Every structure is written in C-alpha cells, then in structure tokens.
Amino acid sequence: MGFQVCAHRGASSSHPENTVAAFAAAAALGVERVEFDVRRTVDGALVIMHDPTVDRTTDGSGAVWELTLSQIRALDAGSHKGTQFIGERVPTLAEALSACPMLCNVHVYPGPDDLEATVDGVVEELTHAGRLESAFVAGDARVVDRVARVEPRLARCLLDWADDAESYPQRSLDRGCLNLQPWRGIVSEELCAVAHSLGQTVHPFYADDEAEMTRQIACGVDGILTNQPALLQRILRSLER
C-alpha cells in the first residue's frame, strides 16, 4: 500500500469542515483517506462534529449531547466558510459514509455519559454500511477497548501519545492497534522505525505546509492527515519525478 493522503475533516481548507461538501471535494481530489469526527445527540443520532459544542462551526450554540438531531439539522454549518456554502448542514454518520468512498478514519468522541451507546452505535452503523474493511475507529483507550469488545474485526487507532510518546507504538499494539496517529511534534525517523518493526503504519496529525509535509515524508511516515490535501498531493507528485 502506497503513501496515503488523508483529508482532515474533508477538504477543510477550502470547504466547511466535516460537511458533505468537504467530503465530496476530498473525493474529487482522489485522496486515499478521509478523517471525520462523530458525536451522539440527546436523542441517539450520530452526527459529524469535532467540537463538543456546535458554536464554532454553525450558527447555533449548545453541546451536541444536549441537542436533538432536528435541532442540529436546522443549523447552518457552511456560511462561516463563505456565502457559497450557506445552508450546508451537519451530516449524519450515514451521510458521511455515503459521501466518502475512500478509507474512513472515524474519530469517536463520546459525551459525558454515553460512551457505550456512542461506540456501539458507530460500530453498528459501520457494519450496516459494509464498512468494516474500509473504515477504522480512532479514540482514547476507553473507545478503543469498547470497539475491540463489540467488534474485534474493526481496525482501531489509539489517540494517546501525549503522556509517553516513546511508548506510544507499543501501547497501541498492546490494545491491538496497527494504525498510529502521532502528533506532528513527536514524529521522527526513530518513531517510524519502531512502529514499522511492530507492523504498524504511521499517519501523523498533521501537516499543512510544504516544509512540514516534506519533513514528515523524510521520516518515513505512511501518510499524513492534512487540511491541505491538494498541496500534499502536489508535493508527492514532485517527489516522484
């Protein structure tokens, strides 16, 4: 498997993040992966939203887990990015999966008291959509452990490198995780070498400028999460010449 460009929250530099418009733009670029974030509403729906609240990316306010699906669907999630995106809505997980034919990097963020319901719902949705082979779940140790218990065939990624970066590959492997997403600040040739020796792939978060993209590529990463997927594609093409 070659180097994989992962569009972070879709083509989020040019389109409103975590929307169908951003996912469609990423698909049009032909990226190998897309990353998006899932949260659960008060009435049990799974929606695509990174932040705990809808305040930053919509014209509404409030915590996702305290709002209903209909309340969230009524919000404008696009106008902050430009008038051409007025009326763009917060998608459901099902809509995101339909818009993303590529490998889906599904970040799961439970609310204060809905860990099992959120994780179980995501696993059920991925199973129903036939995406067990073309998606993986990323999250903290609680999320990863719950996925392993509910559906061990679903690939996982432990998002827990901050406390001890050096042991991150082994701690991930101990939880059955072969996908690594280290923070860009800890990416090095040594980290990549250790991960590869354990059979893991390294896809850092993140790189948005040419210098950092080039540095990470030189370290031996297997892909990069980026808000600038078109730029990363251009750099990769230039390196192939």
Cis peptide before 168 (omega within 30 of 0): no
196 included as an active-site residue: no
50 included as an active-site residue: yes
Q: Are 60 and 71 a contacting pair, CB within 8 Å? A: yes
User: DSSP readout, 154-214?
Assistant: SEEEE---SS-STTHHHHHHHTT--EE--BGGG--HHHHHHHHHTT-EE--B---SHHHHH
The active-site residue out of 8, 15, 107, 203 is 8
Q: Given CA atoms 60, 66, 70, 72 in this order, what sign does their dihedral have?
A: positive
The active-site residue out of 15, 50, 107, 203 is 50
Q: Record the tokens describing residue 87, joined without a space.
A: 């009326």
Q: Are 156 and 144 a contacting pair, CB within 8 Å? A: yes
Backbone torsion region of residue 221, taken as left when φ is above 0, otherwise alpha when ψ lies between -120 and 50, otherwise beta? beta
* Closest residue by Cα to residue 32 from 233, 237, 188, 200: 233
Please list the active-site residues: 8, 50
